[in-house]
Amino acid sequence: MSPADTRRALLFALFFVALGGLLLHYRIHPFLLPDKDHPGVTIFRGSFVAATLLPLIDVVVVTALFASRRTAPIAYLVNGILVVYGTVLMGHFAIAALAPKDPPLLDWVLKSTFPDIVIAWGDFFVGKALYQSWMLET
């Protein structure tokens, strides 16, 4: 497999992991909801916009920036920032939700945002491999 083919596969992997994160976030944190009391009316929940906007930036902006050698360092930086930011926010909300309940350790792993954080770090390492692939090209 040529380096260009490897980069293309990594770019698709990055796109699909980010798209999965976006869809997961929108399913859990929809910012537009139908009002149950008033059919035909949509409720806007502004506090959930960031949970959709950040993965959308990952899907669109980071993927587009990783498509070029010249912009790959910026993509690597933005991807890293998004993953760290997501880790901190998801970790905070998991601790805030589970700490008062004092669940067993397995619940901390399976019923928290830990699996989502693991997916985010997978996205980061695919981006890291893509960045290194671009930097090895002379």
Helix (H), strand (E), coil (C) string for the chain: CCHHHHHHHHHHHHHHHHHHHHHHHHHHCCCEEECCCCCCCEEECHHHHHHHHHHHHHHHHHHHHHCCCCCHHHHHHHHHHHHHHHHHHHHHHHHHHHHHHCCCHHHHHHCCCHHHHHHHHHHHHHHHHHHHHHHHCC
Q: pTM of this prediction?
A: 0.88
- The domain limits of the chain are 3-136
Q: What is the mean pLDDT of the chain?
A: 92
Average pLDDT on 108-116 reads: 84
- pLDDT score, position 108: 77
- pLDDT score, position 138: 61
